[in-house]
Amino acid sequence: MAAHEQFADDLTLYAIGSLPVSEAGQLEQHLDQCGDCRRELEEMRGDVALLALSASGPAPPTRSRERLLSAMKKEPRRQRMLIYHARPWWAVAPVVASLALAIFGLFLWRENRNLREQEAEMQQKQQSLVTELAQTQHDSEQAREMLYMLTSPEVQKVSLSTAKSTPQPVGKAMYLRNKGHLLFMASNLAPLPNSKTYQLWLIPMRGGAPMPAGTFMPDERGGAMVMNPPIPPGTEAKAFAVTVEESPGSEKPTMPMVLMGNTT
Ligand SMILES: [Zn+2]
């Protein structure tokens, strides 16, 4: 069997579709008999195809075949053996590798229309992914900012009312039924002894028992917040209410209700 290295240059050119037909016959005969060279060819083609998808730039240099071959011939024979049969040759010879890879890419870039179409398609997909990602980032930034406004102690929270009235406890519930998401905020709440706690309740639409929806203690200025207590998605709410319970909370609300609000 003819030695592999005799076909090394040819194999490279064959992989990128640049071996003249007159010389290809002998190589193909060798490929029929030599699994090593077939595998090498498969690997080269795989890498070349990937490379072509990412290649861009000016037209390929003239005499690229000659430059590729002469660059390879400068490598000592033993190293070339290694290059072609031990592992991917561009891993061992960076200079040759970068030159040759550039040429591979540009050859295919010019010659394979199908690959160019794939490239355009991939770019389009990439673009729409980028747009989607930007939108997601924008949304989550807004959400983060909102959450910061609602939760940060740095943020000044001011309740406005008529000038003379004593501030009364007020609460606001925001409820997204299909997800069971609930955000509740209250202000002007009276302080409680440590043995007690405020508790939020969801009063279901169809006459079910009030569902516990989180306990909370007001801060020193009477403000409080409950975020996403465990509520089964889809629960229809008729009203929300707040009671005072023994700490750490109760299964049933104890009258009277401190705050109460209907959903409609
Ligand atoms: Zn071989």
Going from the Cα of 37 to the center of ligand 1, the distance in angstroms, rounded, reads 4
Task: Give CA angle at 216 (215, 219), nearest 5°.
Answer: 175
Centroid of ligand 1 to alpha carbon of 17 (angstroms): 18
Does the pTM surpass 0.75? The reply is no
Distance 140 CA to ligand 1 centre (A): 56
**Tens of pLDDT, residue by residue, the chain (264 residues):** 456 777 877 888 888 777 888 888 888 999 999 988 898 888 877 766 655 554 444 444 444 455 555 655 554 444 444 344 444 544 445 555 566 666 666 666 556 666 667 778 888 887 888 888 888 888 877 777 777 777 777 777 666 766 777 778 889 888 888 888 888 989 889 999 999 999 999 999 988 899 999 999 998 888 898 888 889 999 999 999 999 999 999 999 999 999 999 987
* H and E: helices and strands count for the chain: 8, 7
Q: For residue 7, how far is its CA from the centre of ligand 1 (angstroms)?
A: 7
Between the CA of 76 and the centroid of ligand 1 the distance, in Å, is 19
- 184 forms beta bridges with 173, 226
175 has which bridge partners?
A: 182
The Cα–Cα gap between 71 and 230 comes to: 69
Distance CA 23, CA 26 (A): 6
- Give Cα separations from 62 to 106, 110, 214 (angstroms): 11, 13, 75
Residues with a beta carbon under 5 angstroms from ion ligand 1: 4, 34, 36-37
- Between the CA of 109 and the centroid of ligand 1 the distance, in Å, is 28
